[in-house]
Structure 1
C-alpha cells in the first residue's frame, strides 16, 4: 500500500513538473522578443499583466531596456536555449524511466551542450552588466552568478559520473542541475503569486523576496527526487557515517550562532528586513524539519544509506547560515554594497551552495566506498589462496 502511494506521488510529480516545463518553454523563448523588435508578442508579459496588472509589468520592464539592449544577442541565446532545456528535461526523465538507454544518452549529450551554450549567454550578460544594474539590484546579480556556476558544475559532474560508471551519482547531479534551471519558471510563478500575499510591492521588491529562498527550494526538490528514486537500503563499502553525532552537534551549534546573527541583523532594517527574513527563515525551517524527520525515520527502519544521505544534507543545511554570515561582510566590502543588500545576497546563496557541497560529499562517499571494495578484493583473494590446502 505504501509503495503504491509512493508510485502515485512520483507520477503526479513528474506530470506536474512536465506541465510546468512545457508551459514555460514558449514564455522563455519569446521573453526578449520585444527588446529586439518593439511590439513583438511576449507571452510571459501578457500573462503576468493579466494575473497582476499591466502597470506592475510595465514599471519593471522600463528599467530593463538599456541593460538588456547592450547584451541582447547573448540574452536571446540564453532564453531561447533555456526554453529548449525546459523541454529536454522531461524528455530525459521519461527516457530514463522507460529505460530507453540509447535515446537517453543522445538527449543527454544535447542537454549538456545546450546547458553550456545557454549559460555562456548568461555569463556574457553578467560580465557586461554592473551588479547594481541587474534587475532589483546587486543581490540578484550575485544570485544569478551563483546559480550559473552551480548549473555548469552540476552538469559537468553529471557527465563525469556517467563516464565514470556512477549512474546513481549521475542521476543526482543532473537532478540538481535541472533544479537550478527550474529557478527561472518558479521565479515567474512567484512574480505572479506573491503580489496576492504582499500587495502593493513592485516586481523588483517581489523579486528580492523570491530570491531569498528559490535556490534552497530547488536544491531541496532535487534531493527529494534523488531519494525517491534511490531505494537501496545499503551501499556496498559504506560503513561508518561521515556525519556522526558529534559532527551534527557542532554543525547545529555553528548554524544556530550564524542564524542568530542573520536574524538580529535583518531586524535592524525594519519592515523590509523582516520581510526578507521571513522569506528566508520559513522555507529553511520546513526543509530542516523534513530532513531531520527523514533521517530519523530511515535510521529506525534500518535504511542506513538513506539515513547517511539525509544526514549529510542535514549537516550542510545547518552550515548554510555560517556561509551566509561569512559572505555578507565580504560582499559588503569587496563590492561596496549597503549592509542590507549584502546580507540578502549572503542569505540567498547559502542553502543552494551548501546543497551543492552536500551532493559533492555524497559523491565522494560513494566513490570512496567503491575504492574500499577494490582494495578489499585483492586482500580477500590472497587470504583465499593462503587458506587453500596444498595437495
Structure 2
C-alpha cells in the first residue's frame, strides 16, 4: 500500500510539472513580443490581467519598457530558449525514467547547449541593467544573478558527471538545474495567485518581493524530492556509506547556527513593520515545512536501515540549517559592499540563501559518491579483482 501511494504521488508530481512546463512554454516565448512590436499578443500578460486585473499588470510592466529595450535581443533569445527548455526538460525527465538512453543523450546535448545560450542572453541583460533598474530593484537583480550562476554551474557539473559515467551524480545536478529554471513559471503563477491571498492593493513589485522569499526553497526542495524518489538504493555498494559525513555533533551545531540566524533575520524583518513581517512569514512558513519533511525523512531512513538515504537527507538538512546563517552573511555584505538599504539587502540575502546552500549540499553529495566510488575501487584492487562496473560508473543503477 505504501508503495502504491508513493507511485501515485510521483505520478501526480510528474504530471503537474509537465503541465506547468507545457503551459508556460508559449508564455515565455511570446513574453517580450510587445516590446519589439507594440500591440503584439502576449499570452502571459493577458492571462495575468484576467486572473488579477489589467491595471495590476499595466502598472508593473510600464516601468519595464526602457530597461528591456536596452537589451531586447538578448532578452528575446533568453525568453524564447527558456520556453524551449520548458519543453526539453520533461522529455529529458521521462526519457531517463523510461531508460530511452539514445533519446536522452541526444536531447541532453540540445538541452545543455540551450541552457548555455539562454543564460548568456540573461547575463547580457543583467550586465547592461543596473541593479536598481531591475524589476523590483536590486534584490531581484541579485536573485536573478544567483539563479543564473547556479543554473550554468549545475548543467556543467551534470555534463561532467555524465561524461565521467556517474549517472546518479548527473541526475542530481540536472534536477537541480531544472529546479532553478522552474523559478520562472512558478513566479508567474505566484503573480496571479498571491494577490488573492495577500492584502488588497499590493502592486506586482510587492508581490514579487514576497515570492522571492521562498521560491528558491521550493524549487531546490522539489529537486531533492525528485532525486530521492528516483534513487531507491538502501546503501552504496561500498562500505564507505557507513562512515557518515553528517554525524550528530555536526547536525547539532548546524541547528544552533540556524536558530541563531533565524532569530537575527526575524528581528531584522520586524523592524520594517507590516511589510517586513509579511516577507518574514513568506520565508519562514515554507522553510519550516521543508525542515520538517527533511528531519522526518532522515530519521525514517535510519530506522528502516537505509544508510545512503539517511546520509543524503542529513547532508541537505545541514545545508538547510546553515542557509539562514549564509543569508545573514550575505545581507551584511550587500549592505556594506553594495551600499544597499537594509530591507533590500535583507530580502536579497534571504532570497538566495536556501538555493545557494542546496547547491553546496548537492556538491557534498557528489563528493560523497566519488569518495565511495574510490573506496570501492581500492577495495576491489586490494582483493585482487578488477573494480566492478557498478563501483566505477555510478555505484548503482537508479
- 1:227-251 deviation digits (Å, cap 9, x = unpaired): 0111000012222110000000110
- 1:27-57 deviation digits (Å, cap 9, x = unpaired): 0000000000000000000000010000000
SS at match of 1:311: helix
- In the alignment, the residues of structure 2 paired with residue 188 and residue 125 of structure 1 have an alpha-carbon distance, to the nearest angstrom, of 19
For 1:268, the equivalent position in structure 2 comes to: 271
For 2:211, the equivalent position in structure 1 comes to: 210
For 2:234, the equivalent position in structure 1 comes to: 233
- In the alignment, the residues of structure 1 paired with residue 40 and residue 5 of structure 2 have an alpha-carbon distance, to the nearest angstrom, of 46
SS at match of 1:40: coil
User: Superposed, which structure 2 residues align to 1:178-217 within 5 Å?
Assistant: 178-198=178-198, 199-217=200-218
State the 1:378 CA deviation: 2.1
- In the alignment, the residues of structure 1 paired with residue 5 and residue 13 of structure 2 have an alpha-carbon distance, to the nearest angstrom, of 12
- TM-score, normalised to structure 1's length? 0.97
- In the alignment, the residues of structure 2 paired with residue 67 and residue 177 of structure 1 have an alpha-carbon distance, to the nearest angstrom, of 27
| Gap regions ≥5 residues in structure 2 | 386-398
State the 1:373 CA deviation: 1.2
Query: What is the root-mean-square deviation in Å for CA atoms of aligned residues?
Result: 0.8
User: Superposed, which structure 2 residues align to 1:19-168 within 5 Å?
Assistant: 19-168=19-168
- 1:155-189 deviation digits (Å, cap 9, x = unpaired): 00110111111101111111100000000000000
Count of aligned pairs: 382
| 1:337 and 2:351 are equivalent in the alignment | no
SS at match of 1:381: coil
User: Superposed, which structure 2 residues align to 1:237-248 within 5 Å?
Assistant: 237=238, 238-248=241-251
For 1:5, the equivalent position in structure 2 comes to: 5
- 1:112-166 deviation digits (Å, cap 9, x = unpaired): 0000000000000000000000001100000000000000000001101111111
For 2:220, the equivalent position in structure 1 comes to: 219
User: Superposed, which structure 2 residues align to 1:168-183 within 5 Å?
Assistant: 168-183=168-183
| Gap regions ≥5 residues in structure 1 | 383-391
- In the alignment, the residues of structure 1 paired with residue 257 and residue 6 of structure 2 have an alpha-carbon distance, to the nearest angstrom, of 35
For 1:363, the equivalent position in structure 2 comes to: 366
Say which of 314, 333, 346 aligns to 1:311. Answer: 314
- 1:314-344 deviation digits (Å, cap 9, x = unpaired): 0000000110000101001111110111011
